[in-house]
Amino acid sequence: MNIRQTNIDNVGIVIGDDEIFPGYNPKDGMHFTKTSPNQTQHELYIMHASYKPLATSLIESYPSCQKLLDVGSGAGSLTYWMRQLKSDLTIVTLDGNPQTVNSKWLKKDHHFIVRTDVDYTLVDDQGETILFDVITSFEHFEHIQPETFETFLNNIKKHCHKDTIIIASASKHHHPKPEDAHIHCNVQTQEAWDKYLKNLGWKLLPEKYITNTNHPFNFNIAISSQLTFRLS
């Protein structure tokens, strides 16, 4: 399937080296490349491979899924393993960090650099908006500014059919260093996220998909909210 993103003005987050953008850390999602001189290729692969158990769990939970959207995909490790497990699954990945396009774990013609809280539309060969069976967004909600969060959700909504399942997690961690405080710009409790989604008309579901045995290297279950929801 040929896929394109119609909003040519949405090109992700482009800032100067000394600039700060709320919610953005250019090192996030960069585990496909060394971020320190001491990292080895083996260590990078271990981080990448830590996404395989979660990918397996999602594939097993939704065997009939044909189209999946991963919002805030980073390096694309989760969807890499999903493609290995189900080769006929159409997967689209989105991330605001322009550097993620260089990740060897992504399928480049199905990866789009966009701000996920600015309007975007993914269309197929006929110009029709693609409706996904499952939409994932792990450890991404806390990076979306509160004032643009409804736009973020509206972007997801336009790519949903009546049975689409959204599976997400949101860190409850506040960065202790003042210079990093902007990175998690929207930290909420589980209860606050639940109430927010309900008030906007989403239906919350009880299923949780991240466990102590399948979580990737950069997840901490104790300080993450898990959110599964769909259109009401």
Residue 183 lies in a domain: yes
Look up the CATH number of the domain holding residue 77. Answer: 3.40.50.150
What angle in degrees, to the nearest 10, is found between the helix axes of 77-85 and 41-49? 60
Residue 87 lies in a domain: yes
Question: Coil, strand or helix: which one is 16?
Answer: coil
In angstroms, the CA 26 to CA 136 distance is 21
Residue 42 lies in a domain: no
Q: What does the pLDDT average to over 178-189?
A: 96
How far CA 223 is from CA of 102, 123, 149, 172, 173, in Å, comes to 30, 36, 21, 5, 6
pLDDT above 70 covers a percentage of the chain that reads 100
Q: What mean pLDDT, rounded, does the chain reach?
A: 96
- pLDDT tens, residue by residue, 63-87: 999 999 999 999 999 999 999 999 9
Does 34 score more than 90 pLDDT?
no
Residue 19 lies in a domain: no
Residue 167 lies in a domain: yes
Does 18 score more than 90 pLDDT?
no
Structural domain for 205, as ranges: 52-231
Does 200 score more than 90 pLDDT?
yes
Predicted local confidence at residue 170, as pLDDT: 98
Q: What does the pLDDT average to over 181-188?
A: 97
Q: What does the pLDDT average to over 46-51?
A: 97
Residue 58 lies in a domain: yes
Q: What does the pLDDT average to over 30-43?
A: 89
Does 217 score more than 90 pLDDT?
yes
- pLDDT tens, residue by residue, 100-132: 999 999 999 999 999 999 999 999 999 999 999
Residue 12 lies in a domain: no
In angstroms, the CA 205 to CA 89 distance is 24
Residue 33 lies in a domain: no
Q: Total structural domains in the chain?
A: 1
Q: Which of 118, 115, 132 is nearest to 167 (CA)?
A: 132
User: Which two structure tokens, joined as six digits, stand for 211?
Assistant: 């466990």
Predicted local confidence at residue 17, as pLDDT: 84
